[in-house]
Structure 1
Amino acid sequence: MKKKWLGVMTSALVLMSLVAGCGNSATSNDKEIRIGGNFELTGGVADYGKQSLNGIMLAIKEANDAGGVLGKKIVLVQADNKSEASEAANAATKLITQDKVSAMLGPITSSNAIAALQISQDNKVPLVTPTGTNTKITVDDNGQVRPYAFRGCFIDPFQGIVMANFATKTLHAKTAVIYIDSSSDYSKNLAESFTESFTKNGGQIIGKEAFLQKDQDFKATLTKIKSLNADIIFIPAYYEEVGKIVKQARELGINVPLLGTDGWDNAKITEIAGTGPLNNTFFSNHYSAEDKDPRVVKFVEDYKKEYNEAPSAFSALGYDTALMLIDAIKRAGSDDPEKIREALEKTKDLQVVTGILTLDANHNPIKSAVVVEMKDGKQVFKEKVNP
């Protein structure tokens, strides 16, 4: 009888341990708050991931140096998603189910963030992307807000509107060709937004062409685009392909303004395209390091001191998104994922480097954008656009 009773108790304990391991749930720790970092540290957009990660680590370092949050040290548990959607989902699973993080920062790109979303939703752990601009990250196809998905940047439709308005009102363009990365949700979503706004402003889209990520030779398509004689060419894509497209376009004698979005923001674009070819190009971005706001000046100084390089917009957004999450944890008074989620939803008038941040009902920030012009290989502030 005693043996039978012990067997029953043992089975019960095993069952309880299995059940406890099924859901997520960040384990409460008296000394640390564990935050997951799901980043593109290798692969096609690794520079974006590293820059954003640097901004996040700087914000966390400053918070820890100031005594931590809720009397605890913030620990960032990193995972490399290798710039691939499937790996982003794997990284999310590891961070949430194995590392037991209270919230997750990243991924950086829209496609990777979307791939990681279901894991965060299923396990009820907030995911905050610093730079994923696709609308589907926070709102699903049925128009329902994803309760555990948030972002620290403006959304694609706003970038599309910004660049369409810039094209028609500042450059006085009447015709445009759109050249997209058909393998990227980011690129396709921006193209839709630009098209809608450009035509609404009286412009005409006279051509649409596509390429794939990692393509090398764009001259055949660019020759076709050149024959259309458009006033501007809109290329909403990432720096590696954009750099090659810009270089080859100029070699073919395409001298019209080339327009893009925040995916252009990387120093390597100059290495790839060359300084001359990038003249007469413009792209939307989240902030400008030339801004003389004291907060921007201090951030740039602190970042340079920490990493010995100037911060990009991805660095600034990483920093700001970490500040947003830290602020939410403070207001939540807890590292419980559900309480953090509730606090994130109530983020209002938070002063960060890229401006004053308030989350709307769709978990998207209401904030400004800037248009940057490339001149002799350097980014020059062109104009600021308010929402």
Structure 2
Amino acid sequence: MRKGLFVGVVIAIVLLAVGMATAQGTVKIGYLAALTGDWAAYGQTEVKAAQLAAEEINAKGGVNGIKIEIVPYDFRTRAEDAVNAVRRMIEQDKVHVIIGANTSGINIATAPIVNRAGVSQIATVATNPLVTVDESGKVRPYSFRICFTDPYQGKVLAFFAAREMGKKKAAILYDVGSEYSQGLREFFIKNFEQYGGQMVADLGFRGGVDVDFRAQLTEIRNSGADVLVLPNMGKEMALTIKQARELGMKDLLIIGGDGYGEFMWEIAGDAMEGTYWVNHVAPGDPAMEPFFTAYQDKYKDECKEFVNGVLAYDAVHWVANAVERAGKADRKAIRDALESTSGVQLNHATLTIDPADHNPKDKDAVILECKDGKSRFFMKVKPE
């Protein structure tokens, strides 16, 4: 073979190999999580679960040969850090899609950035309606969620308290600086009154600042409330529950939303017993056993913050499904596939997205009961 011909063949082979690699490519998923700060237990679990999902998908050859890469960023519970992280993901890391954060306020803060840039963002446990629609009710084209919303969650809480538990006088203690807390409070009050209940106390506190809730709890005790609603995030709820029981409020039913975390037991101890929480996932669901086993095997941990873990894991599988349907790693094509999701079987649920608001349709809510040192499945609820 002549030297020139040989060199030409070699170059052709190299170019073919490069072309194949480029065709296969990589889907870069930015992951926005609080890896430090008060919400670190949630964020660390989410990133671990996302990486587990990516490794499992890649071990099977990826998505039509396209591998998945997780690019995590820590927003340290602060909106300004989340905004900066999202900008870096989009401009420097060139991610195709972003998963996270797990709170409404953070997703609302980053929504203008991802929608201007044309990069889809999937909220995991962010339930405020404004995560996916603007103030006028118009859908944000690149904002999605895998969880149900605050209006639905508030209705579930009200239905559970009034109809399932027979409570008629409610008190609420909420974080005045949290969109999540304010939204859940609003929708609980509206629905509880429609179910024939009466609000007897509606009190606030400053999240991240207040740690002593005895003044508010004393007022709640004196109001005659038979149920206390905590539409907040883990740490403050755990402190509230502990202090309520210390004030002798032993028979008061305490309920809350999906801000519940297993780490609350470390703060409140036995005071957690007999509390109830609306959630997206039941840890006792047999369908989730393979996930929990794989997580335990990889991280030597039982995935205590199971809701965050499951929804993060399934969010990666949702992205993989969207890429498969899109046929390529392209931001706009992935967005279109996410919006057209219909009947996609994930690990925790069958997912169909409403294109009008980018919310899942018809997902059952789970009630967890804190009993014998951990949360357990109590019942499923679909309110009237």
TM-score in terms of structure 2 length: 0.90
Question: 1:39 aligned to 2:33?
Answer: yes
What is the letter of the counterpart of residue 262 of structure 2?
Answer: A
Q: Secondary structure at the match of 2:301?
A: coil
Task: Give the distance between the partners of 1:35 and 1:380, measured in 2 at CA.
Answer: 32
Task: Give the distance between the partners of 2:38 and 2:332, measured in 1 at CA.
Answer: 34
Taking the TM superposition and a 5 Å limit, the aligned residue runs for 1:244-263 are: 244-255=239-250, 256-263=252-259
What is the letter of the counterpart of residue 253 of structure 2?
Answer: P
Taking the TM superposition and a 5 Å limit, the aligned residue runs for 1:1-387 are: 30-214=24-208, 215-255=210-250, 256-264=252-260, 266-275=261-270, 277-292=271-286, 295-311=287-303, 312-361=306-355, 362-366=357-361, 367-386=363-382
Aligned 8 A contact 1:278 1:376 in 2: no
Task: Give the distance between the partners of 1:377 and 1:182, measured in 2 at CA.
Answer: 30
The number of residue pairs the alignment matches comes to 356
What is the letter of the counterpart of residue 87 of structure 1?
Answer: D
Deviates more, 1:350-359 or 1:187-196: 350-359
Q: Secondary structure at the match of 1:127?
A: strand
Aligned 8 A contact 2:28 2:96 in 1: yes
Per-residue deviation, residues 32-71 of structure 1 (Å, max 9, x unmatched): 2211111111122111111122221111111101101231
Task: Give the distance between the partners of 2:27 and 2:318, measured in 1 at CA.
Answer: 15
Match in the other structure for 1:7: none
What is the root-mean-square deviation of aligned Cα atoms in Å?
Answer: 1.3
User: Any runs of at least 4 consecutive aligned residues in structure 1 with deviations exceeding 4 A, and if so which?
Assistant: none
Match in the other structure for 1:14: none
Per-residue deviation, residues 138-168 of structure 1 (Å, max 9, x unmatched): 0100110000000111111111111111101
Aligned 8 A contact 2:323 2:337 in 1: yes
Per-residue deviation, residues 173-231 of structure 1 (Å, max 9, x unmatched): 01100110111100000001111110000001111001111221111111111111101
TM-score in terms of structure 1 length: 0.90
> Percent identity of the aligned residues?
39
Q: CA deviation at 1:29?
A: 7.2
What is the letter of the counterpart of residue 234 of structure 2?
Answer: Y
Aligned 8 A contact 2:50 2:70 in 1: no
Task: Give the distance between the partners of 2:179 and 2:82, measured in 1 at CA.
Answer: 15
Q: Secondary structure at the match of 1:145?
A: coil
Unaligned runs of 5+ in 1: 1-27
Per-residue deviation, residues 265-287 of structure 1 (Å, max 9, x unmatched): x2210010012x11221010111
